[in-house]
């Protein structure tokens, strides 16, 4: 028999619904791994307000070191205070590890009816700059400023990521999404870089859409898009819009990828409205974990989990409330475990 492979993975359960969805995902991965000869050595850390209460640091030094060593993390959502308080943990981690690419596949699950069947598009979002860097100041009382920094380096590397992905996985079309009619310098630079990269990939069709029009185009006909390449803030907003095609935020996974490290997390946040109620859908984090398994070359385990997840949706009997079911987080996770 095959020797057991062990992966050291940094686990940030997060807060709000984070502990519930990450608990479900860990259980499913442990079960799948037991069947395929893979085991996980989870290095678990708090972040955000919970970490501050325990260690006096929002991101404990030990957490940084753990990600540096393990290179791979699975992360639940972390609450960010609105209009004040500490800086976003998510943004801080993405910047610290230079996780410049945020990869978000939007694909319907079999058996789950939505108003948009058969959507299969990918959002590639620049993940380190733009207004999302949160470089803000109050210039004088009553006048606030936010710095939108767009660089040639940042725009070129995210464009390369999108085109190389398209080439590798046979994607046909890339739309760069922008507002360069108004932000001529920043979004203009982003487009210049995208165009230069596009020239090296003649087999991939390159097009450009303005972001407000894109919102309408997506709602009218998402099938016209294949890969969406965009800056940080537009990518953030378009991701939530696109999640509705496949059943909402409870479904859509994400990967934050850098040259050295990767952090896998759902698109959704900590969902305080349903936290602690056994209502959260762990599918988004589970699909993020499937991306993680592929990233660490555990395709067999990834396929196994994917098949079990699809079986539960196809059967449609043990689904969470956000997708029209009546089951809780735990019952859903148990159904996936049973399907394994």
> Which residues make up the interface to ligand NAD (CB under 6 A)?
17, 21, 77-80, 90, 249-250, 265, 268-274, 280-281, 284, 322
**Taking the C-alpha atoms of 308, 74, 149 and 191 in order, what is their torsion angle to the nearest 10 degrees?**
-30
Indicate if 226 belongs to the active site.
Answer: no
Backbone angles phi, psi at 315, to 5 degrees: -70, -40
Q: Which is nearer to ligand NAD, 40 or 132 (CB)?
A: 132
Q: How far is the CB of 283 from ligand NAD (least distance, A)?
A: 7
- Return the residue nearest ligand NAD (CB atom): 269
Whether 174 and 141 have beta carbons less than 8 Å apart is answered as no
Distance, in Å, from the CA atom of 183 to the CA atom of 179, rounded to the nearest integer, reads: 6
Structure tokens at 182: 């108004």
DSSP state of 125: E
Q: How far is the CB of 190 from ligand NAD (least distance, A)?
A: 23
Distance, in Å, from the CA atom of 287 to the CA atom of 306, rounded to the nearest integer, reads: 8
Q: How far is the CB of 89 from ligand NAD (least distance, A)?
A: 7
Which residues, other chains included, contact 164 with Cβ-Cβ below 8 Å and sequence gap of 6+? Answer: none
Annotated catalytic residue, options 45, 58, 100, 132? 132
Q: Which is nearer to ligand NAD, 92 or 281 (CB)?
A: 281
Indicate if 54 belongs to the active site.
Answer: no
Q: Which is nearer to ligand NAD, 33 or 253 (CB)?
A: 253
Annotated catalytic residue, options 15, 187, 236, 322? 236
Distance, in Å, from the CA atom of 215 to the CA atom of 14, rounded to the nearest integer, reads: 30
Q: How far is the CB of 308 from ligand NAD (least distance, A)?
A: 18
Indicate if 236 belongs to the active site.
Answer: yes
Q: Which is nearer to ligand NAD, 183 or 275 (CB)?
A: 275
Annotated catalytic residue, options 41, 212, 260, 297? 212
Q: How far is the CB of 325 from ligand NAD (least distance, A)?
A: 11
Indicate if 223 belongs to the active site.
Answer: no
Annotated catalytic residue, options 50, 58, 179, 322? 179
Which residues, other chains included, contact 317 with Cβ-Cβ below 8 Å and sequence gap of 6+? Answer: 325, 335
Q: 129-154 as b/e, with b when 16 or more CB fall inside 10 Å?
A: bbbbbeeeeeeeeeeeeeebebbeeb
Q: Which is nearer to ligand NAD, 78 or 193 (CB)?
A: 78
**Which positions are annotated as active-site residues?**
132, 179, 212, 236
């Amino acid at each position: 028999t095959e020797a057991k492979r062990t992966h050291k993975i940094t686990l940030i359960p997060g807060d709000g619904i984070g502990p519930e969805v990450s608990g479900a995902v860990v259980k499913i991965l442990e079960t799948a791994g037991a069947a395929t000869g893979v085991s996980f050595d989870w290095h678990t850390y708090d972040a955000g307000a919970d970490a501050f209460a325990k260690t006096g640091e929002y991101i404990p030094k030990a957490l940084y070191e753990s990600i540096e060593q393990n290179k791979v993390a699975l992360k639940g959502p972390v609450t960010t205070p609105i209009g004040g308080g500490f800086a976003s943990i998510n943004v801080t981690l993405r910047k610290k590890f230079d996780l410049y690419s945020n990869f978000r596949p939007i694909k319907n699950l079999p058996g789950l009816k939505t108003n948009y069947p058969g959507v299969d598009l990918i959002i590639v979002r620049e993940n380190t700059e733009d207004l999302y860097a949160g470089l803000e100041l109050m210039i004088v009382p009553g006048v606030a400023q936010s710095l939108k920094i767009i660089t040639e380096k940042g725009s070129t590397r995210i464009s390369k990521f999108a085109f190389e992905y398209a080439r590798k996985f046979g994607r046909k079309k890339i739309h760069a999404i922008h507002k360069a009619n108004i932000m001529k310098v920043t979004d203009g630079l982003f487009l210049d870089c995208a165009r230069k990269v596009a020239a090296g990939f003649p087999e991939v069709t390159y097009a450009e859409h303005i972001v407000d029009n894109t919102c309408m185009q997506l709602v009218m006909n998402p099938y016209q898009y294949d890969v969406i390449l965009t800056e940080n803030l537009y990518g953030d907003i378009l991701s939530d819009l696109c999640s509705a095609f496949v059943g909402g935020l409870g479904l859509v996974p994400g990967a934050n990828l850098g040259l050295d490290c990767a952090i896998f997390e759902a698109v959704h946040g900590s969902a305080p409205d349903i936290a602690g109620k056994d209502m959260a859908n762990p599918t988004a984090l589970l699909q993020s974990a499937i991306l993680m398994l592929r990233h660490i070359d555990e395709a067999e385990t990834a396929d196994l989990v994917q098949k079990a997840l699809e079986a539960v949706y196809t059967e449609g009997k043990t689904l969470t409330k956000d997708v029209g079911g009546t089951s809780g987080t735990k019952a859903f996770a148990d159904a996936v475990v049973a399907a394994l």
